[in-house]
Amino acid sequence: MQKITPFLWFDGNAEEAANFYISIFKNSKLGKISRYGDAGPGPKGSVMSVTFQIEGQEFFALNGGPQFKFTPAISFFVNCETQQEVDDLWEKLSAGGRTDRCGWLQDKFGLSWQIIPTILGQLLGDKDPQRAKRAMQAMLQMTKIDSEKLQQAAAEPKSSVTSGG
């Protein structure tokens, strides 16, 4: 068992959410499902909690009721190696939810995700501050992050190249 586990509070749909997430990510699996007993507070036999794994990361989902909702103050950052992975995760996770700026989305359960290609971090950390600035400016104009457009924007504009003399 890992030392720190994200604990997610749902309003009756923890099992549905766990199944949704494991259907999207590779190397994922459903863990233990616990049900409410006679002591409640949920109806006897209904799902109380679900554990699941995504890419080796353990999660705990609780059907705690309507008292608390997710906010973008907590999000899951997904480091994507390819644009295809960005596109695939973006489409699946945003279905029934909403998309936001700069690679952020909220899934249909209200949980926030950042779907980010690894190239973004590389470009933003470029040794050339102008290249990093152009990448940042391009990213700020995007909803879903587009790796190719980021690289094109970060490349030195041809119009600013002058001949020596």
pLDDT in tens, 93-127: 999 999 999 999 999 999 999 999 999 999 999 99
Query: Rounded mean pLDDT of the chain?
Result: 93
For the segment 53-73, what is each residue's pLDDT rounded down to a tens digit?
Answer: 999 999 999 999 999 999 999
Q: For the chain, list the domains and their CATH numbers.
A: 1-68 (3.30.720.100), 70-155 (3.10.180.10)
The rounded percent of the chain whose pLDDT value lies above 90 is 89
Contact 51, 58 (CB under 8 A): yes
DSSP 3-state of 136: helix
Q: Between vectors from CA 3 to CA 6 and to CA 48, what angle results, nearest 5°?
A: 45
What is the mean predicted confidence (pLDDT) over 32-47?
A: 92
Percent of the chain topping pLDDT 70: 94
Residue 139 and residue 49: Cα distance in Å, rounded? 38
Contact yes or no for 10/61 (Cβ under 8 A) = yes
Q: Do the Cβ atoms of 115 and 82 come closer than 8 Å? A: no
Name the band, by pLDDT with cuts 50, 70 and 90, for residue 164.
very low
What is the pLDDT at residue 95? Answer: 97
pLDDT of residue 159: 46
Specify the pLDDT at position 116. Answer: 98
| pLDDT score of 150 more than 70 | yes
Is the pTM for the entire model greater than 0.85?
Answer: yes
pLDDT, tens digit (0-9, with 9 covering 90-100), for 4-28 = 999 999 999 999 999 999 999 999 9
Cα 135 from Cα 128, distance rounded (Å): 11
Band (pLDDT 50/70/90 cuts) for residue 162 is: very low
Residue 30, φ and ψ in degrees, nearest 5? -80, 140
What is d(CA 46, CA 103) in angstroms, rounded to the nearest whole number? 36
Average pLDDT value for residue range 133-149:
96
Nearest CA to 97 out of 117, 70, 67, 74 is that of 70
**Beta strand extents in the chain (DSSP E only):** 7-10, 28-35, 47-54, 57-63, 75-80, 98-99, 104-106, 112-117
